[in-house]
């Protein structure tokens, strides 16, 4: 398997990981709505994952940039910019005092990210297969 195959295999695994993180976020939000968890615990729990999630995504995007995968990079660049902007304006963390007021927005963001990771997952998978076929030819 060539470098491109490896790169997309790695991307597929990472995208799967991010996908599960988002599923976890959304489950936690609905737990909050059903009063299975209190907002303080929820925020403490989720805030541990925010930076790793953003970091993993940033790492992947930069990997595409440095390996010259322009399409893959351009697909991921907007989300990278969005995350970076949130961190810069210091509202990337979940705030227990405001969580109920902002829950709708958080859920929406979670679903959009989930969809995004799902689409990119299949895209990476496709690219990996294409790369493998190209190699075997």
Partner 1 sequence: MAAPNAQLPPGWVAQWDATHQRHLFIETASGRSQWEHPLQTNSPPLDLLSQSPPPDNASAHHATHTKRRQYAAGQTQAYYGTTEAAGFADAAYGAGAGAAPAQQPGQLFTPGLAAESQFASQQGQPPAAQGGYFQGAEPDYPAPAAYAQPPYVGQQPQAAPQIGQLADQFGQMGINPAAGYSQKPFALYTTNLLTAAPDPRELSRPPPEIRLPPNACISNSPFANCDPSYQRSTLNAIPANNSILSKSKLPFALVITPYRSIQEGDDAVPLVTDTVIARCRRCRSYINPYCQFIDGGNRWKCVLCNYSNETPQLFDWDQTRNVAADRWARAELNHAVVEYVAPTEYMVRPPQPPYYTFLIDVSQAAVQSGMVATATRTILESLDRIPNADDRTKVAIIGFDTALYFFSIAPGAAESTMLVVSDVDDVFLPKPTDLLVNLTEARAGLENLLSRLGEMFQNTHTVGSALGPALQAAFKMISAIGGKIIVLSSSLPSIGTGALKVREDPKVLGTSKESALLQPASNFYKTFAIDCSRSQVSVDMFLFSSGYTDVATLSCLPHYTSGSTFFYPAFNASRSEDAIKFAHEFSEILASPIMLEAVIRVRATKGLRMSGFHGNFFVRSTDLLAMPAVPLDQSYAIEIAIDDPINSSFAVLQTAVLHSTSSGERRIRVLTLALPVTSNISEVFASADQIAIATFLANKAVERSLSSKLEDARDAITNKLTEILGTYKSTMTAAGAGASAQLAVCENLKMLPVLCLGLLKHIGIRQSSQIPSDLRAYAQTLLTTLPSQMLIPYIYPAFYSLHNMPPEAGTIGERGIIMPPSLPPTSERLERHGLFVIEDGQTIFLWVGRDAVPQLVMDVFNLPSYEQLRGGKMTLPLLDNPFSQRVNAIISKIREMRRGPYWPHLYVVKEDGEPPLRLWALSNLIQDRADQLPSYQQYINTVKEKINIGGYT
Maximum pairwise Cα distance, the chain: 58
Considering only 23, 27, 30, 33, the residue that binds partner 1 (CB under 8 A) is 33
**Site for partner 1 contains 100 (CB under 8 A):** yes
**Site for partner 1 contains 40 (CB under 8 A):** yes
**Site for partner 1 contains 88 (CB under 8 A):** no
> What's the closest the beta carbon of residue 110 comes to partner 1, in angstroms?
17
How far apart, in whole angstroms, are the C-alpha atoms of residue 83 and residue 106? 13
**Site for partner 1 contains 135 (CB under 8 A):** no
> What's the closest the beta carbon of residue 92 comes to partner 1, in angstroms?
12
> What's the closest the beta carbon of residue 59 comes to partner 1, in angstroms?
27
**Site for partner 1 contains 51 (CB under 8 A):** no
The DSSP-derived string for 63-131 is HHHHTT-HHHHHHHHHHHHHHHHHHHTT--S--TTTHHHHHHHHHHHHHHHHHHHHHHHHHHHHHHHHH
How far apart, in whole angstroms, are the C-alpha atoms of residue 16 and residue 5? 17
> What's the closest the beta carbon of residue 49 comes to partner 1, in angstroms?
18
């Amino acid at each position: 398997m060539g470098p491109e195959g490896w790169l997309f295999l790695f991307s597929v695994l990472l995208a799967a990981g991010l996908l599960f993180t988002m599923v976890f976020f959304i489950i936690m939000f609905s737990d909050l709505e059903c009063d299975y968890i209190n907002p303080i615990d929820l925020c403490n729990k989720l805030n541990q994952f925010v930076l790793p999630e953003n970091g993993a995504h940033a790492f992947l995007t930069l990997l595409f940039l440095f390996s010259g995968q322009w399409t893959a990079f351009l697909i991921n660049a907007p989300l990278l910019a969005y995350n970076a902007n949130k961190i810069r304006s210091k509202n990337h963390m979940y705030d227990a005092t405001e969580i109920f007021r902002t829950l709708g927005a958080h859920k929406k963001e979670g679903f959009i990210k989930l969809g995004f990771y799902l689409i990119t997952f299949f895209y990476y998978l496709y690219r990996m297969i294409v790369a493998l076929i190209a190699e075997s030819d």
